[in-house]
Structure 1
Amino acid sequence: MTRKPFIAVNAHEVLQRHGLDSMDALWALQLEAVDAPNTGRGGWSSVHRLELEDANGTLQPFYLKRQDNHCTRTLHKPFGEPTFAREFRAIQQYAREGIPALEAAFFAERRVEGRAQAVLLTRALDDYAPLDEWFERWWQLAAADIRMLILSAAALVRALHNADRIHNCLYPKHVFLKLHTDGAGARFIDLEKTRRALFGERDRVRDLETLHRRSEVPSRTQRLRFVLAYLGRTRVDAQARDLIARVLQRSAGKGPRP
């Protein structure tokens, strides 16, 4: 049984134009995966790039994510549900709360012979690059660009935490940034594990520590600039010192990055 799919208003025309406005059609597409399929959780999950020409002759890039019986169990879903269903709900929640993130173009799920299947189509963020890729050319960037990227990333995480949510997997590869003439833009991806900050400050510190530990390139001064921007401060005060101490204390207990 297939439920009525979600189709974004700005994607309906191009999907319909190519006969891809149904789960059956997207499921049947033969595409090369961008990386090896994930075969955990008793099923499989794959990601493919899809480019569709619109009525103006412009290519619209997407990422097509499909999974079969690749489920997670929660208190609300004790029998499990596709992880992409969780991510789709999170994408919608982020949009409602004004937290910049990837955009969903299509989502549908169904059960086939007892197996849970899901399709999630998201718009490609081709104008952006993940923070870990920015780190690879950190030393080639102008000081003003580095500052802008730091401020943009800090504002993004602050917007998330101000909405009383945590990413819960805040690696640099999940923070997408772009530079343009008016400054920088930022968006989150990979929202499968995001949740409410049930434990308040402890959860927020957990997010920040993950990003700190996984970001090996920035200097101490640049990390301090991130913290001050995140807190909306211009200089170090008691709150900034306390936050830095909490993050470093948690990081010390984690040991080196695996």
Structure 2
Amino acid sequence: MTAQPFIAVNARALLEQHGLDSFDALWSLQLDAVDDPNIERGGWSSVYRLTLADEYGREHNFFLKRQDNHLTRNLRKPFGEPTFAREFRYIQAYARAGVPALEAAFFAQRALPGHQQAVLLTRALDGYQDAEDWVASWNTLKWTDRRDLLQAVGALVRSLHNAGLVHKCLYLKHIFLKLDQDGAGARLIDLEKTHPAWLGRRDFVSELTTLHRRSPVFSRTQRLRFLLAYLGSERVNAEARRWVRDIRRMQERKESRR
């Protein structure tokens, strides 16, 4: 049984034009995977790049994700559900909360005897690069570009935490950035581990500590610039000092357990 699909308003005409507005059509589409299938959860999950031209010849780039019995389980779903179903829910939640992230164009899932399958189509983040790529050339960037990128990441994480959410996998490779004439833009990907910040500020400190530990290239001044952007503050004050202290303490505790 196939559930009623979600099709984004701004993608429906394009998908209909190419006959790709159904689960079956996207499931059977022959494409080369961008990497090896993920087989960690007892099933499989693969990602493909898809380019479609609209009626005016303009190209639109997407990532097509398909999976079979690649499930996540929790108290609400003890028998499991496709991980893309969870990611799709959080793509929607991020959009409602105004947190910049990847955009869904199509989602559907179906149950067959012995199989749970899902298809998720997301728009490619054209013009963006993941933060790991930016860091690889960090010292060659102009200081104004470094400033704009740090401020964009700080504002992005602030919008996430202001929504009461934690990403739970906030690594540089999951933060996508771009530079343009107006500054920098930032978006998040790989949202399936997101959950509400049940512990409030402690969860936020933990997430910032993870990002801090995985960003060794940044100087102390640059880390402070990021934190001020995260706090929406223009200068160091008592609140900023408290966050710095709490992040340092949590990092020391994590390192002591290694």
TM-score under structure 2 length normalisation: 0.97
- Deviation, structure 1 residue 210: 1.2
Matched, 1:165 2:171: no
1:217 corresponds in structure 2 to: 217
- Deviation, structure 1 residue 224: 0.8
1:230 corresponds in structure 2 to: 230
Letter matched to residue 195 of structure 1: H
Q: Distance in 2 between matches of 1:249 and 1:49?
A: 42
CA distances 1:181-226 after superposition (whole Å, capped 9, x unpaired): 1111111111000011110011101111111111121111100111
1:195 corresponds in structure 2 to: 195
Identical residues among aligned pairs (%): 62
1:120 alignment partner, SS class:
strand
Over aligned residues, Cα RMSD in angstroms?
1.3
Q: Distance in 1 between matches of 2:109 and 2:175?
A: 27
Matched, 1:137 2:155: no
Letter matched to residue 75 of structure 2: L
Q: Distance in 1 between matches of 2:130 and 2:86?
A: 22
5+ residue gaps, structure 1, are none
2:60 corresponds in structure 1 to: 60
1:21 corresponds in structure 2 to: 21
2:177 corresponds in structure 1 to: 177
Letter matched to residue 43 of structure 1: G
Q: Distance in 2 between matches of 1:132 and 1:231?
A: 23
Count of residue correspondences: 257
Q: Distance in 2 between matches of 1:210 and 1:59?
A: 37
1:179 alignment partner, SS class:
strand
Letter matched to residue 152 of structure 1: A
2:255 alignment partner, SS class:
coil
- Deviation, structure 1 residue 9: 0.8
- Deviation, structure 1 residue 255: 3.3
1:16 alignment partner, SS class:
helix
Q: Distance in 1 between matches of 2:100 and 2:88?
A: 14
Question: Which 4+ runs in 1 deviate beyond 4 A?
Answer: none
Alignment of 1:238-253 (within 5 A): 238-253=238-253
Q: Distance in 2 between matches of 1:36 and 1:25?
A: 22
Q: Distance in 1 between matches of 2:63 and 2:253?
A: 37
CA distances 1:18-60 after superposition (whole Å, capped 9, x unpaired): 1111111111112111111100111011111000111110110
5+ residue gaps, structure 2, are none
Letter matched to residue 139 of structure 1: N
TM-score under structure 1 length normalisation: 0.97
Q: Distance in 1 between matches of 2:74 and 2:141?
A: 43
- Deviation, structure 1 residue 13: 1.2
1:43 corresponds in structure 2 to: 43
- Deviation, structure 1 residue 234: 2.1
